[in-house]
């Protein structure tokens, strides 16, 4: 699914890749859509775990934001692309999968916006940006990682992430 997309990937290809029979596949999953939903949940679980671990710590909000960015940048070029692929390909044609992906993005944006709110309140409460607008900018940058990595290499990703972090530090007038 990562290389061909959901629609172009057949159950036969999935079972061949995993090394199980088609009967075993249908024993565990009612349909390819049910498989995709489980795959999305499995794919989202490391992000949820990272969010819980960072939220349970006493990190400074800017340091927390930097750690979140680092995690997502490492995660997205691999299995992290699945969420974007499913979102673009299936949101309109498969309402359950589309809803599931939207709920993950809502969870992610709420989490990220809360970190930005905390940082803004601590460092620059009167700044003229909204936490939502900065969160959206960070998300757009992070979501571009797989494309930049594939087209220009990891060095370009590292440079871009460095610029993003420097921008955030300058915005908050803080150097970590």
Lowest mean pLDDT among 35-39, 65-69, 118-122, 142-146: 142-146
Taking only the tens place, the pLDDT of each residue in 132-156 is 999 999 988 888 888 888 899 889 9
Which residues have C-beta within 8 Å of that of residue 58, sequence separation ≥ 6?
none
Asked if residue 17 lies in contact with residue 25, where contact means CB atoms within 8 angstroms, the answer is no
Model confidence at 4, pLDDT cuts 50, 70, 90, reads confident
Confidence at residue 24, expressed as pLDDT on a 0 to 100 scale = 96
Taking only the tens place, the pLDDT of each residue in 62-94 is 999 999 999 888 877 666 678 778 888 888 889
Higher pLDDT, residue 52 or 176: 52
The model's pTM is 0.81
Model confidence at 163, pLDDT cuts 50, 70, 90, reads very high
Higher pLDDT, residue 13 or 173: 13
Confidence at residue 79, expressed as pLDDT on a 0 to 100 scale = 61
Place of tokens 């530090």: 169
Going along the chain from its start, the domains and CATH numbers come out as 32-171 (1.10.357.10)
The half-sphere exposure of 74 on its side-chain side, counting CA atoms within 13 A, is: 9
Query: Rg of the chain over CA atoms, in angstroms?
Result: 18
DSSP character string of 136-173: HHHHHHHHTHHHHHHHH-HHHHHHHHHHHHHHHHHHTT
Helix axes 95-123, 131-143, angle to 10 degrees: 120
Q: How far apart are CA 79 and CA 75, in angstroms?
A: 7
Q: How far apart are CA 13 and CA 5, in angstroms?
A: 12
């Amino acid at each position: 699914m990562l290389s061909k997309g959901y629609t172009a990937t057949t159950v036969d290809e999935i079972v061949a890749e995993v090394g199980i029979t088609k009967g075993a596949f249908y024993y565990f999953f009612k349909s390819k859509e049910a498989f995709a939903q489980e795959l999305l949940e499995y794919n989202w679980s490391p992000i949820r775990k990272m969010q819980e671990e960072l939220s349970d710590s006493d990190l400074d909000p800017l340091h927390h934001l930097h750690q979140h960015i680092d995690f997502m940048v490492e995660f997205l070029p691999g299995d992290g692309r699945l969420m974007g692929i499913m979102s673009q390909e299936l949101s309109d044609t498969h309402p359950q999968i589309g809803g599931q992906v939207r709920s993950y993005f809502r969870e992610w944006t709420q989490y990220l916006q809360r970190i930005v709110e905390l940082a803004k309140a601590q460092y620059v409460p009167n700044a003229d940006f909204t936490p939502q607008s900065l969160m959206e900018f960070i998300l757009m940058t992070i979501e571009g990682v797989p494309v930049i990595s594939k087209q220009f290499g990891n060095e370009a990703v590292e440079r871009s992430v460095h610029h993003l972090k420097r921008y955030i530090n300058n915005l908050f007038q803080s150097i970590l």
